[in-house]
Structure 1
Amino acid sequence: MQPSQESLHFQPHFISHDSLYKSTKNGLIVRELKESTKKKNMDLLSHVLLFLFLFLFTIPAKSADPLSEYCNTNTIISRNQTSANIDRLLSQLVSGTILNGYIATSYGKAKDKVYGLAQCRADVGRKDCSTCIKDAAKEILKRCPNQADARIWYDFCFLRYDIKNFFGEVDTSFGIFYLNVENVTNPKTFNKELGTLMDRISSKAVVAGNKGNGRDKTKLTPFLTVYALVQCTRDLSPLFCSQCLAIATENFQTICKNRKGCRALYSNCYVRYELYPFYFPLDSDSANASKAHHVSVVFKPQVS
């Protein structure tokens, strides 16, 4: 029987352009971030909004609370058949994920055809996976009722659908980062050990049979261990999986520099490290988890 995981996460705060001034005065830092890349097959946005909201307390994770969602407002559902096909697709995504932990499939024909992908974290048991993906299928329709391109992230699973075929493509145009607000006391040693650990588990993720997942830990001192996990969606080739993980870990060096913990969620990969056990099977020592404070960082594509 799988142990019940208690991970730490916070709901990202999204704000409209009309509320920027008020929200900034209330402590929400708004910043525009510019990115560029020459990597082939990378579809990175040149402009994204960076939102930070500081939480001074922790909130226990619940399966019914998604980490975030993305509803593409440029893909409004205009045909009843498309909406009906999304409902049927979601049913297939739920059953397929419960059975295999992952599914990428499509439903419908011509203009009404929809593509979907769902996946649970490879270390999560079937019961938790089943609960998570069922919640995701219900919640995504509530949060993105009129969008044909929708995505939803949970700690244990991820689900998306679109009217465009996205299978096998790397998409880092939208991402969520969760940061521990505390810094490590020995950043030089910590960052060196973390980099080595990330390289090691990223190499594991692209090995056939590992289902795009790599996880491991490194003991920093007799009393301190860093735990890390990476995972790609299983439709990606090893090359594209490596590219997605490289983008996520590269952002760690700036967004999460010297932090005690960080989590990155993209549509194709998930990367996380903490100074407490969070992946299964859990280590017995999880005392540090209750002391963690986090800040959420949201990359949100600009709408033209």
Structure 2
Amino acid sequence: MLIYDNRHIRRTHGVSMFSIRAIPAFSDNYIWCLSHDDSGQALIVDPGQAEPVEAYLAEQGLTADTILVTHHHPDHTGGIKQLQSAFPEVRVTGPADSPFKGTTNVVHPGDEVVWHGLTFDVIAVPGHTLDHIAYFTSSLISGRPLLFCGDTLFACGCGRLFEGSAEQMYHSLKNLRELPDETAVYCAHEYTLANLRFARHWLPDDEALEQFERRCQNLRDQDLPTIPTTIADEKALNPFLRWDDPAVVAAAESYCAKHGLPASSERDIFAAVRHGKDHF
């Protein structure tokens, strides 16, 4: 089983060590495992499959004590029941008012989730689904604040609007865009190269996107993940976050003129980019 190791931890006297790794699942999912190395306990994010998680935990001698759920889709929740059987004491934290009913610790936007001294803020990010939430901690993991954002924000992309509206997703992404620039963005899918194909189509003269695409292709050629990305990189590169960038606005206005769509607000610009990706 291939496990992507993103470990880069400073250890100081009296400070616990945390490690974070991606456990690949399905064809392009990442299940995130955050381990508290002093206790051997692990926090698992969006386990759509149980088997790769169980195999990794057994290999590392870890015990799952917490599962974080960002939204109800089966590729994020399908492994939870089996993991509950394997780890009867595991706490399953997830959004209230969700179609997924397997949570044991329901949270609402504005709540906090505390795990081994780390405090995660629960952020509402509807759009992809109506129940979608994200988890942010300002504590430094691998030297940076950390965001688990499920299918809301991807490297150079964002989630499809299966349940929510473009306006909801725009506001969700706007809230994430305001997080510290150095925040590491741990999304749930390896969609980067596909997202970049669209971004380069939308902005063919963007040299930074071209350079980033080469870097990501090199990583994938080595079977390495392209994530985490950072909020700073997404603000600079991701067309779904650049609704106030003149180049993105110009491309959106041209697209809207061709398709009879409005282009009078930042929300309209975001909606045009999303529409363009949906029909790319």
Whether TM-score is above 0.5 comes out as no
TM-score, normalised to structure 1, is: 0.27
